Amino acid sequence: MAENDIITRTVSPNKAKKSINHAMLKRRPIFLWGPPGIGKSDIVRQITDDLEKSLLIDIRLSLWEPTDIKGIPYFDSNTGTMVWAPPGELPSEELAKKYKNIVLLLDEMNSAAP
């Protein structure tokens, strides 16, 4: 098998949950692929609820524009440069310090703006 080949498989919700938990322990990103309505978001929500001091940020990318993701540039008069104001949906450093685990669910990627 070539190095860039992608292996796909179908798994049960329980097996998916176990695999996702394993990947999260190793701080690895996860990509869930499947038709609408099979419970992908629900599995992520359940896992987040089971984690200690956790926050789920559920972003429906089909409803976002590219500037929503990157933020909006503004002039910082203190530094004399343009900086990006981060999206309000993402946690600030102050908020992030309150949680042991933050799960970012980027849902509906297939219909997101390019």
Q: Is the model's pLDDT at 1 over the cut of 60? A: no
Average the pLDDT over 82-104 and give the result.
90
Average the pLDDT over 83-104 and give the result.
90
Considering only residues 67 and 41, tell me which one the structure prediction assigns the higher pLDDT: 41
Alpha-helix residue ranges (DSSP H) falling in the chain: 13-25, 40-50, 66-70, 93-96
> Which class for 47: exposed (0-12), middle (13-18), buried (19 or more C-beta within 10 A)?
buried
- DSSP, collapsed to helix, strand or coil, labels residue 56 as strand
* Residues facing 101 on adjacent strands: 54
H helix or E strand, kind and range, residue 113? none
Average confidence score pLDDT of the chain: 88
With a threshold of 0.85, does the pTM exceed it?
A: no
Q: pLDDT value at position 36? A: 86
pLDDT digits (tens, 9 = 90+) for 61-73: 999 888 787 888 9
